[in-house]
Amino acid sequence: MTPSPVLLGCSGWDYTEWVGRFYPSRGPTDRLQHYAQVFPIVEINSSFYHLPTSRTVESWARRTPRGFRFTAKVPQEITHDRRLEEVEVPLRAMEQVFRPLVRAGKLSAFLVQLPPSLAFHAPTVRRFYASLPREVPVAVEFREESWLCGESFDLLREFSFAHTVVDEPKLPVNLTVTAPFAYVRWHGHGDPLWYDYRYRPEELVPWVERVRALEREAPLILGFFNNHFRADAPANALEMGELLGLRPPPWVQRLTAPTLPPPSGPTRVPPPGTPGPVHDDAAGSGGSVGRPGRT
């Protein structure tokens, strides 16, 4: 049997602290172009907080190889502020902004990250799912345990939306496949910030069999490391790729970064109420956000 495609990358790419660890220390660097020479896919985190401009999205499409792929997080206005109701206007705005990536064939999925305070309510969920764009595949990430029920998974199957497999402190790993593709997010187990965390090799090894299990049910797997501090995300993504025996993207010679980050140092905890870094370059080199408790 031919192995299913597995595309691994990171949740965002434009982090200043990656300079000198993942990006070159000196000289101007187009971070997106550099990232795309290492990984075949990236998750756009910044769209959760604010939509990019169409010009920025056009730049992302233009500056990446033909086979490179993106996924994009649905704005929090839809999931957290409106709580899945009366979302037609912001959904249309989202569709319009990301149309350049759709036209380029580079947008692999929209990611719906649900709020941890929102319990499953089938009628509301059905209406929301029916309102989502059909042109782009959709993955849904649960953050509250009432969503881990048969009716919830059945609704995902009905709409062919992917259940997002997560590694995080609050919910168990659940490998249920509900769509023609699987979506995986490694958040980390930091305290208090989940994503302030470096996975140890012995924590990644069990994921080899989990990914293989997903491969047996889904023809495509999209996976992202969200632990962006200290460039731990690209380091862990590369380590996971090696464990899975993944080949480099076809447009590069080898799947490796010029400089890998060293092992994580002590956890850096910001003062209470301090917002995390927002990275969304107006020139189009951004696309990443990290804020406590929200990514």
Compare 27 and 271 and report the one with higher pLDDT. Answer: 27
Asked if the model's pLDDT at residue 73 lies above 90, the reply is yes
- Mean pLDDT of all residues in 109-113: 98
- Mean pLDDT of all residues in 103-112: 98
**Domain map (residue ranges) of the chain:** 6-289
Asked if the model's pLDDT at residue 273 lies above 60, the reply is no
The pLDDT assigned to 259 comes to 53
Asked if the model's pLDDT at residue 35 lies above 70, the reply is yes
The CATH number of the domain covering residues in 6-289: 3.20.20.410
Residue 117 carries which side chain, given as an amino acid letter? Answer: S
Residue with tokens 């495609």: 5
Q: Compute how many other C-beta atoms are within 10 angstroms of the C-beta atom of residue 108.
A: 20
Give the residues across from 166 on adjacent strands.
Answer: 185
Angstrom distance (rounded) from CA 48 to CA 61: 19
DSSP state of 231: G
pLDDT digits (tens, 9 = 90+) for 254-272: 544 445 555 444 444 343 3
The pLDDT assigned to 253 comes to 61
- Mean pLDDT of all residues in 194-220: 97
Angstrom distance (rounded) from CA 223 to CA 53: 26
Angstrom distance (rounded) from CA 128 to CA 237: 32
Q: Directed axis angle between helix 54-62 and helix 88-97, to 10°?
A: 40
Angstrom distance (rounded) from CA 232 to CA 234: 6
pLDDT digits (tens, 9 = 90+) for 123-147: 999 999 999 999 999 999 999 999 9
Task: Band the pLDDT of 203: cuts 50, 70, 90.
Answer: very high
- Mean pLDDT of all residues in 198-222: 97
